[in-house]
Structure 1
Amino acid sequence: MLVPFLIMLREGIEAALIVGIIASYLKQTGRGEWMPAVWIGVFLAAALSLFVGGGL
């Protein structure tokens, strides 16, 4: 039971790191207007993950 939890934790941290890098890049390059699109993508990915995971 512990191994799947640790894998999910690792994947979640990796996803947060990627989103953070994208957000930082957009902020530093002055393209902050794209941040809502990033958050929409994050929420859609999470919803799709829950939907597919619930179907299994």
Structure 2
Amino acid sequence: MKWNQPPYGFLWLVIIDGFLYIVFSVVTVDLRNPFPAWVGFFIFLIVLNIAMYLVKRKR
């Protein structure tokens, strides 16, 4: 995957993160957990970005 190609990976990331954001917000509301949904959202975003970077670098 070349860097100048359309960012399909980013679109996929947004879809996955949108789904996870909903899951996290449901979980936090149900369990009355002080851990905010957006923290998990950003942690997952950062981890996934690092993983995708490593995968791209390996090829």
> Shorter-normalised TM-score: what interval?
0.5 to 0.7
Does 2:12 match 1:34? no
> In the superposition, relative to structure 1, how do residues 36 and 55 fare at CA in structure 2: closer, same or farther (>3 Å)?
same
Q: CA deviation at 1:18?
A: 2.7
Match of 1:16 in 2: 14
What runs of 5+ residues in structure 1 fail to find an aligned partner?
none
Moved over 6 A (4+): none
Q: Calculate the aligned-residue CA RMSD, in Å.
A: 2.6
What runs of 5+ residues in structure 2 fail to find an aligned partner?
29-34
Higher helix share: 1
TM-score by length of 1: 0.54
> In the superposition, relative to structure 1, how do residues 10 and 46 fare at CA in structure 2: closer, same or farther (>3 Å)?
same
Tell me, in whole angstroms, the C-alpha distance in 2 between the residues paired with 1:45 and 1:5: 19
TM-score by length of 2: 0.52
Alignment identity in percent? 8
